[in-house]
Each structure stands twice: as structure tokens, then as C-alpha cells.
Structure 1
Amino acid sequence: SIAHCEMLAQTRIISAADQEKIAHGLNTILKEIEAGTFEFSTRLEDIHMNVEARLADLIGSAAGRLHTARSRNDQVAVDLRLWVKDECFRVAEALKGLIGALLERAGEHAATVMPGFTHMQAA
């Protein structure tokens, strides 16, 4: 949402002042979520509605400008794509760790003799 807000300001769809308010509000919300102090409401449909409501509480009517040129479906699609990207990086890092451990173990046993098997019988 911060990147979308910046795009809206760069294209002069919203004012620089509104962009600053929105970005500050979103950063405040991010800090609340990270600190575990963000109050989620089950009355609201999803995380997006919770963030939107909190942003309006923090900055007032400027919060409504964040949805300009972006549907909720667009927002969900971007969020999903960013989450998948982060998860792919996390899995890649875990795989790098596994590969490193396997290479280390292989190095420790490079001279270890192991029998070969084929069809469950010694080759």
C-alpha cells in the first residue's frame, strides 16, 4: 500500500501532503502489527478492512484516497504474490542450509565404504 500511495503522489493523483499522511499512518500500523498491539476486529471482513479502518482512525479522510486506481481484488492479488515471493526466498534459504549440511556430512564420510544395492540385493 505504501508503494501504491507513492505512485499516486508521483502521478499527481493525490497530493504530496496526503501521500505523507497515508505513508506515516501505514508505517504506524505496521509497527503496531509487529509489536502485537494492533487490535484486529472480527466485525471487519479481513485484514485489509482492519488496516483501512485503523488508517482512517489515524489520519482521517485522506485514508480513503489510498484505494484510488486499485480494487480490493488487486490488493489481494499483490499481497498473495508478495507473500509467495517471501516464502520462496525462505524455502531457498532453508534449502541452502540443507545442501550445506549434506555437503559437510559427505565430506566427513568421503572415504567411507558403502555397499551398492540393486533390487534390494547386494550389487
Structure 2
Amino acid sequence: MVEMCLKPDIFSYNSLIDVYCKNREMDKVYKVLDEMHEQGILPDVITYTNLIGGLGLVGQPDKARDILKEMKEFGCYPDVAAYNATIRNFCIVKRLDDAYQLMDEMMAKGFGCKCNNL
């Protein structure tokens, strides 16, 4: 893109981060995040959700939970997808108490089931 004089945007960076996270290449993820900051592009909820998922894939669920907590400090608030990614990380490593704790936190923030009795 750069060679074609196209400036990457948040969508471009999120795509890169998603691919690197899925390939468990967290060093590249952090380089992309640094580049985003240098370009004045702030990570969004999708960026953080991808990062949380990647941290789970490399066995760092606690670091992923820290990212979930720190998002709001950067002006970005977790959504259901971010919580689900974090919860999934704890389920993968069979830390169900931590997963349930996050579910309770998510529900307390109003992300609970809005369905009627089906």
C-alpha cells in the first residue's frame, strides 16, 4: 500500500494485526501497534479484541485480561466481543473460575442476555 502511495488506515492495520495474531506472531503485532501510534492512528475495539485473541493463542490469558482492563484508559471501551475473547482465553487454559468472573463482570456492565423467554 505504501509503495502505491496509499496511507494505511485503522482497517488496514486491524487486518494486519488479525493475521499476525492468528499466526501467533505477537512481536509483529507490537511493531504494528507502534507504527499505528507513530502515524497517529489510535487502536479501536477491534484492534484490542484481536490483540486479546492473539494473547490467548500464545497462552497469555492474564495479559489479555489486563488489556481488557486498560482499554478504557486509552479511550476505548470493551464490547461483548472483547469480553468473549478474554473469556475464551481462560476457557482454553481451563481456568473456569476466571472465565465465570469475567462473565459476571460483563453482565454487571449490562452486556447480559436481552432475549425473551424463547
With normalisation by structure 1, the TM-score equals: 0.29
With normalisation by structure 2, the TM-score equals: 0.30
Which structure: larger Rg? 1
